[in-house]
Amino acid sequence: MIKIIGFVKRKAGLTIDEFSRYWQENHAPLGFEILPDDIRILRYVHHYAVPMEALGEPIFDGVAEFGFEDMDMFQKWFAWFMSDGGQPLRDDELNFMDSSSAVVVMAEERVIIPGDDAREDGIKLIAGVKRKSGLTLEEFREYWRDKHAPLALTVLHSAPNVNRYVHNYGLALEGLGEPAFDGIGEICFDDFDAFMNSTQWFLGEGGQVLRDDEENFVDHSTRVALILKERSFIR
């Protein structure tokens, strides 16, 4: 699946709750109302930041995902979105979103551990990273997919309540240069307690082998990690 993953920040003056509510109750319905019938979206998901006092203000307040069957369908959607037909959506973004700080990545999805990512109390960790210096985008992708993912599968069975694990490989597009993130990982948990237990596991002896292996392909200084609640409109 080809995906557009957008990291967004709320408009100044809005709380995270106000931002999330407007996005869900006003903006999403508007999009469905005006979307042409011949444009097929396979996946449309909102992720809303879970504030944590200990971590301070999140760098982004939400993450959107759009999924398309192929590049042709994405291009058809994008042409519509940027046309007069999509103007109401672009205008509406100004009511709740700081568009100047948005980061958008086109990616190809690969599901490593399938599972349910839309539980009512579920928590999702989304992390965007850049590759280690000296690696090409393809070398980064191959290492993450062919070496790190199999290693993760050998140890994640002992991680508490990991429901789903997904790789999104950033795509470099002609004329747009390098993606903002070379890879975006998604890990889903039953609830907040499960997320905290898994985090303790990852930072402890159990996750050491994964942390060590990340040094082979990830530039940790670029990592952006977000703790989020999910709302699926199209799964």
Q: 3-state class of 126 per DSSP?
A: strand
Q: Which of 2-11, 14-23, 149-158 has the lowest mean pLDDT?
A: 149-158
Tell whether the model's pLDDT for residue 157 goes beyond 90: no
| Distance set, CA 59 to CA 51, 56, 95, 116, 223 (Å) | 11, 9, 19, 26, 11
Query: Could you tell me where the DSSP H helices lie in 116-207?
Result: 137-143, 149-155, 192-203
Residue 156 class from Cβ within 10 Å (0-12 exposed, 13-18 middle, 19+ buried)? buried
The domain of 6 spans: 2-234
The 10s digit of each residue's pLDDT in 52-76 is 776 778 899 999 999 999 999 999 9
Question: Between vectors from CA 210 to CA 207 and to CA 211, what angle results, nearest 5°?
Answer: 85
Residue 133 class from Cβ within 10 Å (0-12 exposed, 13-18 middle, 19+ buried)? exposed
The 10s digit of each residue's pLDDT in 176-212 is 678 999 999 999 998 889 898 888 888 999 889 999 9
Q: Which pLDDT score, from 0 to 100, does residue 52 have?
A: 78
The 10s digit of each residue's pLDDT in 44-54 is 999 999 987 76
The 10s digit of each residue's pLDDT in 84-132 is 999 999 999 999 999 999 999 999 999 998 876 666 678 999 999 999 9
The confidence band for 228, taking pLDDT boundaries of 50, 70 and 90, is: very high
The whole-model pTM stands at 0.91
Bin 161: left if φ > 0, else alpha if -120 < ψ < 50, else beta: left
Looking up residue 51, the CATH number of its domain turns out to be: 3.30.70.100
Q: Which pLDDT score, from 0 to 100, does residue 119 have?
A: 63
Q: Which pLDDT score, from 0 to 100, does residue 131 have?
A: 97
Question: Between vectors from CA 225 to CA 41 and to CA 166, what angle results, nearest 5°?
Answer: 45
Tell whether the model's pLDDT for residue 234 goes beyond 80: no
Q: How many domains does one find in the chain? A: 1
Among 130, 163, 167, residue whose Cα is nearest residue 147:
167
